[in-house]
Amino acid sequence: GKEKWPRGEETVWKGAMRDVDTDVSSITKSFVNHVQTSLARQPYNLDNLGAYQASALSVRDNLLVNWNETSLQYTRKAPKRAYYLSLEFLMGRTLDNALLNLGLKDKYAEGVEKLGFSMEDILDQERDAALGNGGLGRLAACYLDSSASAELPVWGYGLRYKYGIFQQLISPEGDQLEAPDPWLDNQNPWELPRLDVAYEVRFYGQAERLHDGTPRAQWTGGQEVLAVAYDVMIPGCYTKTTNNLRLWESKPKRGFDLNSFNAGNYEGAVESSNSAAAITSVLYPNDHTTFGKELRLKQQYFWTAASLADILRRFKNIGKPITQFPDYVAIQLNDTHPTLAIVELMRILLDEEDQPWAAAWQIVTNTFFYTNHTVLPEALEKWPVPLLEHLLPRHMQIIYDINMLFLQSVEKKFPGDRDRLGRMSLIEEGFPKQVRMAFLACIGSRKVNGVAELHSDLVKTTILKDFVEFEGISKFGNVTNGITPRRWLDQCNPELSALISRTLKVDKAVWLKDLSMLEKLLPRAEDKKFRDEWAAIKQRNKERLAHHVQVTLGLTINTNAMFDVQIKRLHEYKRQTLNILGVIHRYLTLKSMSAEEKKKVNPRVVFFAGKAAPAYYIAKLTIRLIVNVAKVINADPDTKDLLSLYFLPDYSVSLAEVLIPASDISQHISTAGTEASGTSNMKFCLNGGLLLGTVDGANIEIAEEVGESNVFFFGHLTPAVEDLRYQHTYHPVPIEEKCPALAHVLNQVSAGLFGDAHVYEPLLNTIRQGDHYLLSDDFDSYIAALAMVDEAYLDRTEWVKKSIRTSAKMGKFSSDRAIMEYAESYWNVEPQHVA
Ligand code: CR6
């Protein structure tokens, strides 16, 4: 519509406004301006870090132009918006991604070159924004990229942790040590502090029901903390659309207590400010485990309360009645971490908006969507009732009310089924009683989904089975995860990206946004020249990785070997232990070979990387075993040309960007039914690495796309797992009998072949006793699969064909496809083109 210019002369305003830079001279000008003014530095002594900061500030100006226009458009048109609530956003570096999405990388490279810098050195100065643990956090980052690229009005909401995921150091003995990640130490050019956007968040205090014939209550007293917004720009690929990721920082409501200070109590004066600041001080480094710590619950409430207040304020600006809230707002809950948002919205609707219970519940259950990311029981969040009662007394009342009404409706549908009521109650009996967050997220949401076909089926048939029977199957769906091809192909593998563009004869702007176009590469698998180019790029990526390892760790890697990679969080269910035991088996086999036999063996380099939760003892022992096996193997003159092993410390998004394009084969070998999806499996395959894996998570769908002849599958299937575990418990068979090859490997470790015999016993005992993750059941077929990989690699022509066919069929796994499924089948949100 036509709006009046708010003040002054519109032409003067518009004439003075900047646009996005498009030519090299305006880029160098903006760079130098930032050196002069923002950084206040001399050209004479500008180092690479300064050049990075100037480039980042200059790129940020460009992003802000688009970001402002996008915001204005959303405000004017008031379309339905979606909000992605995630405690983790594992963004990695931003500069390269922003340059590529803006289509300005070449021009900036030319510009900084003229000023005496190299783009590569500049890019290398940036620290990762590592506000996440693993797949769940990186998925959130990919979804933001895809939302902006698809021009969808989607904002992310998270926390601005002062310290991200810890830095991992490995001691000479092989112990993981943790150091803080002070990622904000040299200023973060990618965030915009919004000190004017702030909300008060209450903790503790008293909740009194009003008993006035309404469900209202009053919540007073306790501690009040301020949530302050920091905005991070999320540029879409080749579009003006630039969305927002809003991260909250906690601050004391009053800087400090002047009364205490004047009374001579300095410590008392800063205490409340310290406890307020503590809320967003650090990311919890746990993946798949919950610890029930009060500070973690405080983080969850602080973030959901601030985000909801912000969303509500924006909705109110449209001027519609509150009952229309779900027509304008969809909120996606990334796992159960933000489940309190359901209760918080109820609280606001009841106590502040004066809505009757049924109307409030109607609004809530049409607003939220819940994604489950695991069926592992130890990862399902439960909060002790006494803790919730203390920290959030009003919310606990509401949870009890929700539960009572819910159980009444269950009782109505299944009269007299007391077991069922007990199973479905939001409150788990025990000492203490606990609130089952996944159940609350489920009944408070419009729809629930898992993250790959198999996983979504398991959600429906195991943890939420009763809820499917009660609410009907149509509420439960699947959205298979995806990855952004911008970062995970174009950015991390520029040569492959260029080859694809040349071959398809289309600009990357086209195929990067329609990844199914890769299928047109299929016939090229028969073209020798293309295969040679494809293989040469893989080789150069291997050399790039070797160079990186040489520079950072001082190790020399054999780039003529097959590169075999397993990189992910350390966890028993992911079975890094199976992999390292397989490496030992290979080593022992090589040791027993004649020189003649060895000539037929293809050299292999095995890479591991990944962090262990600081309190996860068995995972840390696995790292220790890997490091110490590496010492022995890499130093053994009998075998070192044929087998070597590296544990690369401090795995990160940036390290993944170097490792993934260099892999010939990658391992995704979780016990069937335990890995919800996996997303690195998709990244490797997109970059032409083949997959060795179990029939689990998204591996299954990858195999469906690329064809089973192009993947290496092994191991028992999901339906067998329960029976096998039962046998382990009730009819155990000694490992010597069941799997002699594995027994031999375990005995060698026990005998001290890798030093410290006794140290590894607790790790080995997880296999000898109980073997919950079924290593002894899968070991033989794992070794057989590894042999098939060796065999296949000998025929290099056929291998490269498999590599091309794999990459060509990965279109389905673009996060663009996944985000459109959420937008269309869940949120009902439509693209908004910003002209
Ligand atoms: N650890 C799953 O385990 C999945 C991601 C993203 C995980 C993994 O298989 O790909 O989520 N689950 O959906 C949780 O974090 C609870 C993960 O990252």
pLDDT by residue (tens digit) across 562-604? 999 999 999 999 999 999 999 999 999 999 999 999 999 999 9
SS3 at position 366? helix
Query: Strands 206-209 and 665-668: what pairing?
Result: unpaired
Domain boundary residue among 450, 479, 508? 479
For the CA of 371, the closest atom of ligand 1 is 13
Query: What is the band of 1 on the pLDDT scale with cuts at 50, 70, 90?
Result: very low
Which residues on neighbouring strands pair with residue 179, listed in sequence order?
A: 167
569 counts as catalytic: yes
Q: How far is the CA of 140 from the centre of ligand 1 (A)?
A: 11
Query: Strands 89-92 and 217-220: what pairing?
Result: unpaired
Domain match, 547 and 466 both? no
Domain match, 440 and 541 both? no
Domain membership of residue 205 as a residue range: 78-93+128-479
Beta-carbon neighbour count of residue 125 at 10 Å?
A: 18
Look up residue 390 and give its two tokens. 């203390």
Residue 172 is assigned to a structural domain of this protein: yes
Query: Residues of 199-226 as b/e, b for ≥16 C-beta within 10 angstroms?
Result: bebbbebebeeeeeeebbbebeebbbbb
Cis amide bond preceding 215, omega within 30: no
Look up residue 229 and give its two tokens. 């917004």
The finding on whether 285 has its CB within 6 A of some atom of ligand 1 is no
Name 468's Cβ contacts closer than 8 Å, sequence gap at least 6.
460, 475, 476
Query: What is the band of 766 on the pLDDT scale with cuts at 50, 70, 90?
Result: very high
The finding on whether 135 has its CB within 6 A of some atom of ligand 1 is yes
Q: How far is the CA of 444 from the centre of ligand 1 (A)?
A: 22
Q: What is the mean pLDDT of residues 462-475?
A: 98
Query: What is the band of 756 on the pLDDT scale with cuts at 50, 70, 90?
Result: confident
- 612 has a pLDDT exceeding 60: yes
Task: Report which protein residue has its CA nearest ligand 1's atom 15.
Answer: 136
Residue 340 is assigned to a structural domain of this protein: yes
373 counts as catalytic: yes
Look up residue 118 and give its two tokens. 């190299």
Domain boundary residue among 421, 451, 479? 479
- 777 has a pLDDT exceeding 90: yes
Which residues on neighbouring strands pair with residue 647, listed in sequence order?
A: 608
SS3 at position 432? coil
Q: How far is the CA of 670 from the centre of ligand 1 (A)?
A: 12
Q: What is the mean pLDDT of residues 271-288?
A: 88
Residue 484 is assigned to a structural domain of this protein: no
Which sign, positive or negative, has the C-alpha torsion 316, 322, 327, 331?
A: positive
What pLDDT digit, counting tens, does each position of 503-512 carry?
999 999 999 9
Point out the catalytic residue in the list 374, 480, 679, 694: 679
Q: How far is the CA of 82 from the centre of ligand 1 (A)?
A: 22
Tell me the one-letter amino acid at 232: V
Domain match, 415 and 314 both? yes
Contact 479, 143 (CB under 8 A): no
Which residue out of 131, 133, 136 has the highest number of ligand 1 atoms within 8 Å of its CB and is therefore the one to mutate? 136
Query: Strands 712-714 and 427-428: what pairing?
Result: unpaired
Q: DSSP for 603-615? A: PEEEEEE----TT
Residue 623 is assigned to a structural domain of this protein: yes
Distance CA 424, CA 440 (A): 10
668 counts as catalytic: no
Domain match, 137 and 226 both? yes
pLDDT of res. 459 = 98
SS3 at position 20? coil
The finding on whether 91 has its CB within 6 A of some atom of ligand 1 is no
Domain match, 475 and 504 both? no
401 exposure class (CB count in 10 Å sphere: 0-12, 13-18, 19+): middle
289 counts as catalytic: no
Domain match, 443 and 537 both? no
What pLDDT digit, counting tens, does each position of 630-674 carry?
999 999 999 999 999 999 999 999 999 999 999 999 999 999 999
What pLDDT digit, counting tens, does each position of 128-181 carry?
999 999 999 999 999 999 999 999 999 999 999 999 999 999 999 999 999 999
Domain match, 553 and 469 both? no
Tell me the one-letter amino acid at 604: R
The finding on whether 676 has its CB within 6 A of some atom of ligand 1 is yes
DSSP state of 835: -
Distance CA 367, CA 556 (A): 55
- 256 has a pLDDT exceeding 70: no
Distance CA 695, CA 715 (A): 7
Distance CA 468, CA 395 (A): 26
Torsion angles phi and psi, residue 256, rounded to 5: -155, 170
pLDDT of res. 254 = 77
pLDDT of res. 258 = 67
CA distances in angstroms from 504 to 106, 726, 805, listed in the order given: 21, 53, 15
Domain boundary residue among 479, 510, 527? 479
Tell me the one-letter amino acid at 117: F
pLDDT of res. 83 = 99
For the CA of 135, the closest atom of ligand 1 is 18
Query: What is the band of 186 on the pLDDT scale with cuts at 50, 70, 90?
Result: confident
- CATH number, position 138: 3.40.50.2000
Which residue blocks in 611-760 are alpha helix, DSSP H? 617-635, 653-659, 680-686, 697-706, 718-730, 735-738, 740-750
The finding on whether 288 has its CB within 6 A of some atom of ligand 1 is yes
Q: What percent of the chain clears pLDDT 70, i.e. is strictly above it?
A: 98
Q: What is the mean pLDDT of residues 677-684?
A: 98
Distance CA 554, CA 541 (A): 18
Q: What percent of the chain clears pLDDT 90, i.e. is strictly above it?
A: 94
From first CA to last CA, the distance across the chain in angstroms is: 15
The finding on whether 678 has its CB within 6 A of some atom of ligand 1 is yes
How many domains does one find in the chain?
A: 2
What pLDDT digit, counting tens, does each position of 531-565 carry?
999 999 999 999 999 999 999 999 999 999 999 99
SS3 at position 174? coil
Domain match, 416 and 276 both? yes
ipTM higher than threshold 0.85: yes
Contact 669, 715 (CB under 8 A): yes
Distance CA 419, CA 422 (A): 5
- Mean pLDDT over each residue of the chain, to the nearest integer: 96
For the CA of 697, the closest atom of ligand 1 is 9
Which residues on neighbouring strands pair with residue 251, listed in sequence order?
A: 226
Residue 12 is assigned to a structural domain of this protein: no
Domain match, 189 and 245 both? yes
Enclosing H/E stretch for 23:
none
Reference 391, options 256, 294, 495; nearest CA is: 294
Residue 203 is assigned to a structural domain of this protein: yes
For the CA of 134, the closest atom of ligand 1 is 18
Domain match, 563 and 693 both? yes
CA distances in angstroms from 561 to 450, 537, 660, 691, listed in the order given: 38, 15, 16, 17
Q: What is the mean pLDDT of residues 339-355?
A: 98
Distance CA 443, CA 346 (A): 13
Residue with tokens 């798949």: 288
Name 452's Cβ contacts closer than 8 Å, sequence gap at least 6.
478, 480, 481, 676, 677, 678, 697, 698, 700, 701
Contact 626, 576 (CB under 8 A): yes
Distance CA 230, CA 245 (A): 8
Q: For 388-528, where are the E strands, in sequence order?
A: 427-428, 434-436, 447-450, 476-478
Query: What is the band of 4 on the pLDDT scale with cuts at 50, 70, 90?
Result: confident
Residue 33 is assigned to a structural domain of this protein: no
The C-alpha angle 634, 638, 644, rounded to 5 degrees, equals 25
Q: How far is the CA of 674 from the centre of ligand 1 (A)?
A: 10
Point out the catalytic residue in the list 683, 716, 801, 802: 683
Enclosing H/E stretch for 93:
none
The finding on whether 335 has its CB within 6 A of some atom of ligand 1 is yes
Query: What is the band of 255 on the pLDDT scale with cuts at 50, 70, 90?
Result: low
- 277 has a pLDDT exceeding 80: yes
Cis amide bond preceding 614, omega within 30: no
Which residue out of 451, 611, 702 has the highest number of ligand 1 atoms within 8 Å of its CB and is therefore the one to mutate? 451
- 273 has a pLDDT exceeding 80: no
Residue 7 is assigned to a structural domain of this protein: no
Region at 369 (left for phi over 0; alpha for psi -120 to 50; beta for the rest): beta
Domain match, 402 and 437 both? yes
pLDDT of res. 257 = 62
Domain match, 459 and 533 both? no
Which residues on neighbouring strands pair with residue 450, listed in sequence order?
A: 478
